Structures are given as structure tokens and as C-alpha cells.
Chain A
Amino acid sequence: MNGEPQGVTSAEPIATRSAAPMWIIVATLVLLFLGGYYFDRHSGWFDARVYAPYANAENLEAFQPKSGAAAALARGKNVYNGVCGICHGPDGLGKPGQAPALAGSELVNCKGISRLIHIPLAGLSGPITVAGKDWNLNMAAMGAALPDEDLAAVLTYIRSSWGNTASPVTGDDVKKTRGQIGANPQPMSGPQTMSQPE
């Protein structure tokens, strides 16, 4: 602006004294009110679990998936990994010398479920042919200790995984078969299993 040494005037600036106009104070109060309303609608009121787009805790609870096919499958998968997968393999392909494959097995993929439920409830011992391969092993009654719903879930999981497409198994089916077999069943033999009605 100017290049002289006394470029800056020696007088200090002063401020004219007057009050803030009313309209800006009113505008601020209106904005505060609208802000409060917005906060009420969208904040979930400090709930640590409510994230946008859920409006509040009830909204979030309403969208939790109810037990259904997916839940059963998830549960079945858990049980499988803990109980059956050790021998039958995490991918259902079985392990030679330990257990036959469940993927593509005709024992798994049949329409009826009674025969299939017998196997984990009673056990299976002796020669049997599954998917063209011969097996001669012992399977303990791995499902006898499981609750009905868990056994139903794992059988449903097996019947709908790895290419298997068969109908689900319900807890009632398991309960019925358990009643038929009795408390301490003997393991079935291979021919005995194959001759069971499906």
C-alpha cells in the first residue's frame, strides 16, 4: 500500500459500541430449536449401538434377523465343524480311512430323512458302499448326545451344502426317530442301514 516507514497509522482502531441486532439472535434460537428436533429424530439418544441409518434402538432391533433358514444353517455349520467335520472333513469330502464323503452321498441326498437320522443317533459299523466306494469303518453315535434342534440343524446343513440339495430336517423329525430307536441303540451294520426305509 505505501512504502514509508510510518506506513501504519499510529492511531489504534476503535469499535463502535452497539448491541447485536435482534434478528440474528432470534435466528440462532430458531436454528437451535430445529437442531434439537433433528437430534431427537436422528441421534438414537446416545445409544452406543445405534448407527445411522437406524433411527433408534427399536428400529435396530426390528431389523435383527429372526431365526430362519439362515440361522439354522449357521447353527448347523457350527455344530458340523465341532462334531462331524473332524472325520468327514470341513468340506464334506471325507477322509480316506476315517469317514466317507457327505458331498454327493446317496444316504444324505435321499428324499426321506428317517434313515439318515438313524445314522448319527445309532451309529454305523461295518461294510457299506457310498457313492461307489466301499467303506468298512466304525462310526459312533455322534448325534446321540446332541439336542434335537442341533442335530436337525447339522443335518439340514449337510443336506444343503457342497452341492447337496435335499430338504431340511426339523427338530420334530429327530425327536420322532429318537423315540423310535430308544435310549441305547446298537450301532447298525451296513446292510442293516441300507435296508432301512428312507
Chain B
Amino acid sequence: MKTGISVFVATLVALGASWCGFVLLPLLQFGGAKQTVVLQSTDTWPVQRTGAATLGLQAYRANGCVACHTEQVRQTGVACELTLTSLGVQKPADFKDFTRSLFVLPELAAYTNALTASLNGWNGGLPQTLLTSADKDLIAEMADRLKAVGVKSETRIVSTGADVARGWGPRQSVAVDYLYDQPVQLGSLRAGPDLANIGVRSPDANWQLQHLYAPKSVVANSTMPSFKFLFEVRKIVAAPSSDALNLPKEFAAADGFEVVPTPEAKQLVAYLLSLKANMPLYEAPFTPVTAAK
């Protein structure tokens, strides 16, 4: 490079290109994002937060919770599951024989062990999972074969991955999950568990408050700092307050005193309870667990 101008132009082009690609293009593609619809339903997604939860997001931001927690579930793959829902006129023993007769098929060769294992010790209880993690076309073919002998089955789409297996969410997080977050607190370190579905995993507000006040009282060996400054220890006047925390002895306040959450603590817990990402969407389909039991 001989002149300052040429350096300037090279820098302009290099940075300008990535600016166009990672700033302008995403703004154009997602800047006007709108709500979407839950798969096979008329519910819109995401759900708008209540006022308390929106204020709670600001408490989350101010206390830097994002330094230790993430709010995104990852998914490494997607698999199909074949579940038996009705045997029709067949008896379980007959069905086992029928299944074994399918082992000669070349496409099932890799799955004979899995099929045998899933039917081992099965005594006819329904629903029964037959195959998991097989490819979609094979599952469809098996479902057709079963239908031909009068056996009803269900194909389920399931997400695979460590985050899903840990119960941190039934699907990966996608862009529209963060539509109403201001600021978006994705997080980059998991010193604490992922919080994308904490509103589904721990929906008890009292547990959340207790965890904030004294993490070690609900999670042994917790490295989370205690957020005592979000609470007020005050003298019990007349009767204990209905908000007072129910703490075990070594964490409870002194006799005659109670621990009461400040409004900020309640807002933060309202925000945590609003964190849910458990509905199937077009971008991340899965078959939800059906029906209220």
C-alpha cells in the first residue's frame, strides 16, 4: 500500500462489507419481525409480558444476571419417534411376532436391536415407543406397514441434544422468542443453569424468592451469590406478612424478624416466571406432549 488513501479505501471496503452483512442485512431481514403462531394452533407467540415481568427484565439487566446465566436452548438434531397407540385386533404376542418378521427388510437392518430392546418385557401397555432417532422416511414406511395390519401408531418429532435432554427446553430457541426482550439477555457463560424455560421448570414464586435470598438453602453447594439486598429484614409488627419468606432455620431471620421481598425482587421473580419457550414453532417443530392429564 503506497498511500494513505489506499489504506483508507481498503479499510472502508473490508469493514463496510461486514457492516452490510452483519448489521444491515439482519436489520432488513429481522428488524421488522412480528409475532408468529404456534404450530397447529391459533395461539400467537411470543406471549407479551406483564408489567411486573417487564420491570423484572430491567432488574435482571441491572444486576448482571446475564454474566452467569444464558437464556437460549440449543438443539443438535431432530429425530422421529414411532409410538404405538392402538393394537387394533392384534394381541401383544402376535404383534411382537409381526415386528420380528419385519427384520428381514434391508432398511430396518440397523434398527433391529433397537426394536427388540423396546419390545423386550413389553406386556401390551399403550402408548409404547417403538423406534426413536430413525430417519423420517423409515418411520413413515413403518407407520404405513403397521396401518396395513390394523395397528395405529403416532409419529412424533423430537429434538435431540444435551440441552433438551437436561430438560432445559423441548426445542431450540429461535429469533422470535426474543421479540419482546429489551435488552435481549442471551448470555455467554453457563456458570448457572440455562433460564430459557425456568418459568416452566420452577413455576413456584416462593422457591424463586428463596433461591434469590439464600441460594444455598435450596441448592446445596450453589456458587450463586445471595441477593440479600433485594430483600428487607424487618421486625414483625402484629402478624407476619403474607409475603414473608419461609426459610430453613440456619437462613431464617432472627426471632421477631421476617424477610420480606422488595418490589424489585418480586418483579425479578415475575420476569423469571415469564421465561417460557416451550411451544412448537415452524422454525423449531416438535410434537408436544399431548392432552391434560
Partner of A75, one of B40, B172, B174, B284: B40
Near A by CB (< 8 A), chain B positions 279-293 give 280, 282-288, 290-293
Contact across chains for A157 and B285 when beta carbons are under 8 A apart = no
Residues of B within 8 A of A53 (CB): 75-78
- How far does the alpha carbon of A46 sit from the alpha carbon of B29 in the complex, in Å? 9
Known: A69-B290, A73-B290. A60 touches B40 (CB 8 A): no
Q: How far is the CB of B77 from chain A (nearest CB, A)?
A: 5
Partner of A69, one of B39, B85, B136: B85
Count of interface residues, chain A, beta-carbon cutoff 8 Å: 29
Q: How far is the CB of A62 from chain B (nearest CB, A)?
A: 6
Interface-lining segment among A31-39, A121-129, A141-149, A158-166: A158-166
Known: A73-B291, A74-B41. A65 touches B157 (CB 8 A): yes
Q: How far is the CB of B279 from chain A (nearest CB, A)?
A: 11
| Contact pattern, B 32-67, Cβ under 8 Å of A = 1, otherwise 0 | 000000011110000000000000000000000000
Q: How far is the CB of B42 from chain A (nearest CB, A)?
A: 6
Contact across chains for A64 and B283 when beta carbons are under 8 A apart = no
- How far does the alpha carbon of A91 sit from the alpha carbon of B80 in the complex, in Å? 31
Contact across chains for A68 and B78 when beta carbons are under 8 A apart = no
Partner of B40, one of A74, A91, A162: A74
**A135 touches B (CB below 8 Å):** no
Near A by CB (< 8 A), chain B positions 130-177 give 136, 154-157, 172, 174-175
Near B by CB (< 8 A), chain A positions 33-51 give 46, 48-51
Residues of A within 8 A of B284 (CB): 51
Contact across chains for A161 and B136 when beta carbons are under 8 A apart = no
Contact across chains for B287 and A65 when beta carbons are under 8 A apart = yes
Count of interface residues, chain B, beta-carbon cutoff 8 Å: 32
Residues of A within 8 A of B80 (CB): 63
Contact across chains for A64 and B292 when beta carbons are under 8 A apart = no
Contact across chains for A71 and B40 when beta carbons are under 8 A apart = yes
- How far does the alpha carbon of A138 sit from the alpha carbon of B211 in the complex, in Å? 51
Contact across chains for A157 and B291 when beta carbons are under 8 A apart = yes
A sample of 27 inter-chain contacts (CB < 8 A) reads A46-B29, A48-B29, A48-B30, A48-B175, A49-B283, A51-B172, A51-B174, A53-B77, A53-B78, A60-B283, A63-B157, A65-B40, A66-B155, A69-B154, A70-B156, A70-B287, A70-B288, A70-B290, A73-B291, A74-B290, A75-B40, A78-B41, A91-B292, A157-B291, A161-B292, A162-B292, A163-B293
| 6 interchain residue pairs of minimum CB distance | A71-B40, A73-B290, A53-B77, A70-B290, A161-B291, A161-B292
15 more CB-based (< 8 A) A-B contacts, given A51-B284, A65-B39 = A46-B29, A48-B175, A53-B78, A54-B78, A62-B136, A63-B157, A64-B282, A65-B287, A66-B155, A68-B155, A69-B85, A69-B290, A70-B154, A77-B292, A162-B293
